[in-house]
Structure 1
Amino acid sequence: MLGRVLGPAAVFVAVLGLWSLVSYVILPEQRRFLVPPPGDVFAAALTGPEAAHMWSALGRTTVVALVGLAIAFVVGVGWAVVMSQARWIENSLFPYAVVLQCIPILAVVPVVGFWFGFGFVSRVLVCVLIALFPIVSNTLFGLRSVDVGHRDLFALHCTSRWVRLRKLEIPSALPGLFAGLRISAGLSVVGAVVGDFFYKQNSPGIGILMDTYRARRESAELFAAASLASLLGVSVFVVFGWIGQRVVGRWSRA
């Protein structure tokens, strides 16, 4: 446990040291706005005049990301379960999951806003589009990777398709499902921030503030907002990783 803490802490201190070196030594004072010192960034995020706005916007972005992740989870798991029931269904539907993953999200975001407006619904939908594929692919992999001996045992007892899915396939797919959910959690935050950049109506999220600070050339506030958005992504990644460990860590070798 000590090694797991000291390693990341040492890297964090080294990054702060390199950051300070660039700000105070390499860059002249008139160009220091390009890389503001860490102290200025932390002050802007915690005690600065924009700190309250940043945290409020971060809360709204969190809501959008979690709602989008919840919808992506339900749709993705259902999609994977349907495809796992027959090979011809998988061959028919999985290519469209790949297409959804390969479409550049920046090209889709304006179309989503044109169809559904520029508010909460469109932001959530962007999160769903970004976060869907890892859940679908990892859940389908888990459902398909059930031990052959276990399948034969269920077939020997003439179990129904529903019993086999509920008692064998879904429990076996949980490690893959939570791996996909952990990836999608971070991607959902990315989708919420991207949606903020395009949809600037209603209450602002952290992405709108980042764009505002960029336009004002307020570099310390911009770095602070970007750091808070990154912290949100890391937090949801860690939380869902911890949940997955609690659910399957006691019996799964993974």
Structure 2
Amino acid sequence: MATTTLEDVTATTRRPVQAARRRRRPVITWVGPVVVFIGFIGLWYALAAYYASRGLPYFVPYPHQVLAVLTDPEELQTLGTALLHSTEVAMTGLAFAIVLGTAWAVIMSQAAWVERSLFPYAVVLQCIPILALVPLIGILFGYNFQARVIVTILIALFPMVSMTLFGLQSVAKQQRELFQLQGVSRVTMLRKLQFPAALPSIFVGLRTSAGLAVVGAVVGDQFFQRGNPGLGVLIQVYASRLQGPQLYAAILVASLLGVAVFVVFGWLGRLVVGRWYDFT
């Protein structure tokens, strides 16, 4: 005759509780964002009604007016073309920022005096207002695609440098000393110890830089308006013409591009390092 132990009773009573928690978790996941979204739309309508009552409807258009712009084929084609140009600038600048930032961090990780010599310049580069560099960038590189990419690099570079350096230096001292006792080269230590340990930090920096690259593309587009116009030029044109719904639609498309890039690189980070690290 089988006997029932206290552990069996505890496990039996625990299973329904765990199942209930698993059922509640998906509900909590989507209910919160939906409630916030409804509140945001309600606030938007209230602001639009306020400005419409003051005779300034182009300041804050109604959400359904913005939606009408996003569903209009002609307007959608204009926004789509500008979106492609801004995406091209953002991804090109991000690629350069990844390469330059990673190389910069690797060089600084080799010795403390190298880090002390180079890292202050990364901070200075991050702190310089882009507006102060615009005339110089325009004179040196023109006012076309190259200038927009450079602005994107300047805005997106620092997170890659700082987070990659942090990851490379986060290796445990015991592990580093073990590799040194084996007489391995610096390249082998980077490849087999430091880079695997730094992957979570690298992808955090990559995700941050990806979002900033979109900002850099839009900002650079507003400063350098020659060549193929992107979302930045479109935003300025709509603002100068007081086309409120079109302006908000362009801003919304730029925001969605930033969110999409952020989500894609977050997914890529979970795909690469999620097996060993809880990448959120």
Band of TM-score, shorter chain: over 0.9
Following the alignment from structure 1 to structure 2, what is the Cα–Cα distance between the partners of residues 46 and 188?
27
Match of residue 24, structure 1, among 30, 49, 57: 49
Q: Take 1:128 and 1:31, find their aligned partners in 2: how far apart are those partners? A: 38
The two structures have a TM-score, normalised by structure 2, of 0.87
Q: Which amino acid aligns with 1:97?
A: A
Partner of 1:231: 256
Corresponding residue for residue 220 of structure 1: 245
The 8 Å contact of residues 110 and 198 in structure 1, kept in 2 or not, is answered as no
Q: Which has the higher contact order (CA 8 A, sep 6+)?
A: 1
Deviation, structure 1 residue 253: 4.5
Offset, 1:63: 0.7
Partner of 2:204: 179
User: Offset at 1:53?
Assistant: 0.6
Alignment of 1:2-41 (within 5 A): 2-24=27-49, 27-28=52-53, 30-41=55-66
Give the Cα–Cα distance (whole angstroms) in 2 for the partners of residues 251 and 198 of structure 1. 43
> 1:180-200 CA deviation, whole Å, 9 max, x = no partner?
111111111111111111111
The one-letter code of the counterpart of 2:256 is L
Q: Tell me, in whole angstroms, the C-alpha distance in 1 between the residues paired with 2:243 and 2:56.
A: 13
Deviations 1:3-61 (A, max 9, x none): 22322222112101111122236641732221100011111122164221111101110
Q: Is 2:268 the counterpart of 1:243?
A: yes
2:261 counterpart letter in structure 1? V
8 A Cα contact 2:45 2:63, kept in partner: yes
Q: Which moved more, 1:135-144 or 1:39-48?
A: 39-48
Unaligned runs of 5+ in 2: 1-25
Q: Say whether residues 1:64 and 2:97 are aligned partners.
A: no
The equivalent of 2:101 in structure 1 is 76
Question: Given the alignment of the two structures, is residue 120 of structure 1 paired with residue 145 of structure 2, yes or no?
Answer: yes
- Please state whether the residue corresponding to 1:204 is helix, strand or coil: coil
1:206-231 deviations in Å (ceiling 9; x for gaps): 11011001111101100100110111
Does the 8 Å contact 2:221/2:229 carry over to 1? yes
- Equivalent residue runs for 1:124-135 within 5 Å: 124-135=149-160
Contact residue 58 and residue 244 of structure 2 kept, 8 A:
yes
Letter in 1 for 2:117: S
**Structure 1 residue ranges without an equivalent (≥5):** none
Root mean square deviation, CA, Å:
1.4
- What is the correspondence of 1:119-158 to structure 2 with a 5 Å cutoff? 119-158=144-183
Sequence identity percentage = 52
Of residues 201, 206, 209, the one that matches 2:234 is 209
Alignment length (residue pairs): 254
The CA distance in 2 between the partners of 1:253 and 1:234, in whole Å, is 21
- Per the normalisation by structure 1, the TM-score is 0.96
Does structure 1 conserve the Cα–Cα contact (< 8 Å) formed by 2:51 and 2:59? no
| Matching residue's letter, 2:236 | D
> What secondary structure, in the 3-state scheme, does the structure 1 residue paired with 2:56 have?
helix
Deviates more, 1:66-75 or 1:4-13: 4-13
CA deviation profile, 1:44-96 (whole Å, cap 9, x unmatched): 12216422111110111001000100000000000000110111111111110
Selected match of 2:187 from 141, 162, 169: 162
Which range moves more in the overlay, 204-213 or 143-152? 143-152
Give 1 or 2 for the bigger CA radius of gyration.
2
Conserved in 1, the CA contact under 8 Å of 2:51 and 2:57? no
